[in-house]
Copies of this chain bind each other. A is one copy, B any other.
């Protein structure tokens, strides 16, 4: 969002969203402990008391609000119409996810690596909510309404592996190239499903569908 012209008074909602945007930009590229409320005020071109008026809980409240807004943005990456072959759908969602990771690099790492000063059971719950949403999206595209334990575990293990890959990718100066990473992750998804298919009829039916579909 561009800075609003100085001659217009912002509504409460606009102001809040302007502060949140400034905070998110800062938290995206620095660890939360390296962002001060002064930084946020300066980035938004407002006074520190004004930031406090909107976020009386200070940095913790601002961080959680920014995180919630980032979590919503991240969940929108998973939106994909339920049409066409399955693996290209997964590849498109991964493309959007990896773009998000690319754009929120330091903040994304700080959040997922834990041990941050602003991490609480509430921030952990927000992140877990995103993981759960990712798993639900995948199962809904696979048209599974009652996933068994082995299938659920496989999907959640793959999601965790994708997170780990994202963190290493950021750590390694965004290597390998993002298209290679995306295809590699899709191939891993098929591979781990196949391993589970050997011991789970529900997953075996899915892998047959995936093969027929591609």
Q: Is B199 a contact of A180 with CB atoms below 8 Å?
A: yes
Stretch of A63-71, A83-91, A96-104, A168-176 at the chain-chain interface: A168-176
Among residues of B, the one whose C-beta sits closest to the C-beta of A150 is: B176
How distant is the Cα of A187 from the Cα of B199 in the complex, in angstroms? 11
Copies of this chain in its oligomeric complex: 2
Q: Is A5 in contact with chain B by the CB < 8 A criterion?
A: no
Interface residues on A, range: 35 or more
| Chain B contacts for A115, CB-based, 8 A | 114, 119-125
| Chain B contacts for A195, CB-based, 8 A | 184, 187-188, 191
Contact among B123, B156, B175, B187 with A198 in the assembled complex (CB-CB below 8 Å): B187
Q: Is A149 a contact of B161 with CB atoms below 8 Å?
A: no
| Chain B contacts for A194, CB-based, 8 A | 191
